[in-house]
Amino acid sequence: MIAFCGETDSTRHRRPDTFEIEWPPKSGRLQPFPEVDRAEWFDLETARSKTLSGQIQLIDLLEKEVT
């Protein structure tokens, strides 16, 4: 989870870092894969509905910091 306060262009894409793994298995060939398959920005209420229950407190704390 990443928190951001401010305006941003959500259409800009960040290139994710990659990792290599042997693929197909037991082939001896290393293939690169992105660490993240997608990223999205949400308002606070939507973020709460999409976040693991154990992380909602973090959103609440962040909201208090910016208001």
For the chain, the structural domain boundaries read: 18-66
Instruction: With cut-offs at 50, 70 and 90, classify the pLDDT of residue 11.
Output: low
CA end-to-end span of the chain, whole Å?
20
Q: Is the pTM of this model over 0.75?
A: no
Higher pLDDT, 34 or 7: 34
- Taking the C-alpha atoms of residue 11 and residue 9, their distance in angstroms, rounded to an integer, is 5
Tell me the percentage of the chain whose pLDDT exceeds 90: 51
User: Across 7-16, 26-35, 36-45, which has the greatest mean pLDDT?
Assistant: 26-35
The whole-number average pLDDT for the span 35-50 is 86
CA–CA distance from 26 to each of 8, 21, 23, 33, 40 (Å)? 43, 11, 7, 17, 35
- Taking the C-alpha atoms of residue 67 and residue 63, their distance in angstroms, rounded to an integer, is 6
21 has a pLDDT exceeding 80: yes
Query: Do residues 30 and 22 touch, judged by C-beta distance below 8 A?
Result: yes
